[in-house]
Amino acid sequence: MPEEKETSHQSGLRRDVTIWGSYMWGYADVGADVYVALGLVMFYAKGGTLYAFAFAGLVYILIGLAYTELASAYPVAGGGPYYALRGLGDFWALISGSALALDYTIDVALFALASAGYFDYFLPGRIVKASLYLGSYVPHFYWFQCLESIILIAFLIWINIIGIKESSLLNEVLGGFDICMESLIIIMGFVFAWKPNLFLHQIQFQLPNLYDFMRGSSLAIISYVGLESISQAAQETKRPSTVVPRTSLTLIFTVFLFALSFSSLGLGMLPWQIIAHHENNPIAVLASHLPLIGRMAGALAAVMGGLILLISSNSGVMSVSRLSYSLSQFNLIPKWFNEVHPKYKTPVRTIMIFSGIAVIQTILAYLSHNALHTLGNMYAFGATLGYLLVFVSLIKLRLTDPYTPRPYKMPFNIKFKNIKGETLEFPLLSILGLIGVSAVLAAVIWTHKIARIASPIWILLWFAYYVWYRRKQKIPVFQTTPRDWESDQKSVLESAEEYDLLEQYKWALAERDKKARKN
């Protein structure tokens, strides 16, 4: 094993992201998810859709609080795998990274498919539903929809290789416009189209059985996936100790409010069967039933949904290159993945490999009974496994690294002293978060046949590659490489211009060393 200690901080990322930019970075990813989740959840949860979103939303709030604490304490790119690396070691960082890689590749496939679904709002149904008979297991292979999705992914591969990507300004403009449009649909819907009697009837008499409710709840987590975006952007955010908590908490409750509002509005405007039947573009269908502005609102929602979902799909292509770079820096995968194109200076290998995987996932999904459901289930598995490790990492770091200043802490902590006499704080809410995420993960495994087989196979393939690579590098598979995290943390706080936190950190380390010398 290498003798030298490694550091992780990379100084190449400039801190140019403002409060609004940080918020919209997250919203461009999380805000798109309700366009996909509403129809999927209602397909299973029926009149219990509001309850499914509420359950998943409460778990999501706990996840958000955990991410807020970790991202403000460790403002570097990397997200969940970085927290797992610091708290749990190399092996668990690899597991977290593989779960995140599953999410990013599924992100590309799922949101490209969903984007095509919203653009299909303008096409005749006979074209959209063009299919081939491939046997009893796949009686309808929707080749036109599959081709649309692959073309969109190919387009994203091309623009990422030549270096064209959406700017932060484009994210902010489209995200801001989307917030206004979703708010308009909600306000107009509740004022002019919401029927209390229909809403009460559906939430009382159209409830699913337990199995279907768990399926719906596990898919509802899709509506909240994307919190990694703010933590990934933490290394490029100005004054992250102040900005990250504000933007994270605002994003958490914005998305939670939108998810509950759309599920309540849908159940009070239309029978759940109509929205479930149009699961490819549920928000556009809902908007089209608004009085007075329905036709215009439906078309506008379809265009907006298609665009913001395409941006979300593109974020998966870009994010997986950042993930592979981070994992390679910590000797979890080879640096081969980060070779850049000689002309365009973009990570062409990563783009081609992981986007190619997304194309394969798309084709395989269309060979299942329902492509959207299959991809959604896989997405939920990767997200919940990653979130589970985030909670474990948070608890471990609270106990092993009490010296790092935490500008924000999850509320409801129990103070106690360890055997060294140090005062530690145990986060009670993290236990509730662990239970909640474990319940959602168990629901995914219990209710989704393909996800409970294909997703673990994905993790095992990553582990096999990890074993091969570590042995080739003569690094023990289950042993964590020593790293100088204290020097790294000082460098991070200094680059973030968090000088007060830096002084607090140095003082805490000095006090620790003073006590150690006395003993």
What's this model's pTM, rounded to 2 decimal places?
0.88
- Enumerate the domain spans of the chain: 19-518
| Least confident span in 303-312, 341-350, 472-481 | 341-350
Q: What is the pLDDT of residues 164-175, one digit of tens each?
A: 554 455 566 777
- Give the separation between CA 368 and CA 126, rounded to whole angstroms: 21
Residue type, 30: V
CA atoms within 13 A on the CB side of 79: 29
Distance between CA atoms of 141 and 469, rounded to whole angstroms? 38
Q: What is the amino acid identity at position 204?
A: Q
- The confidence band for 255, taking pLDDT boundaries of 50, 70 and 90, is confident
**What burial letters (b/e) apply to 198-225, b meaning 16+ CB within 10 Å?**
bbeebbeebbbeeebbbbbbbbbbbbbb
SS3 category, 417: strand
pLDDT at 319 over 70: yes
CATH tag for 19-518 (out of 1.20.1740.10, 1.10.10.10, 2.30.40.10, 3.30.1360.70): 1.20.1740.10
Point out which residues pair with 425 in neighbouring strands. 415
Question: Which residue's entry shows tokens 């092996």?
Answer: 91
Q: pLDDT, tens digit, for every residue of 502-519?
A: 999 999 999 888 888 887
User: In the structure, what pLDDT confidence band is assigned to residue 24 with cuts at 50, 70 and 90?
Assistant: low
Residue 495 half-sphere exposure toward CB, CA atoms < 13 A: 21
DSSP state, 427? E
Neighbours of 488 (CB within 10 A): 18
Q: What confidence tier does 314 reach under pLDDT thresholds 50, 70, 90? A: confident
CA distance 432 to 435: 5
Do 67 and 230 meet the contact criterion of CB atoms below 8 Å apart? yes
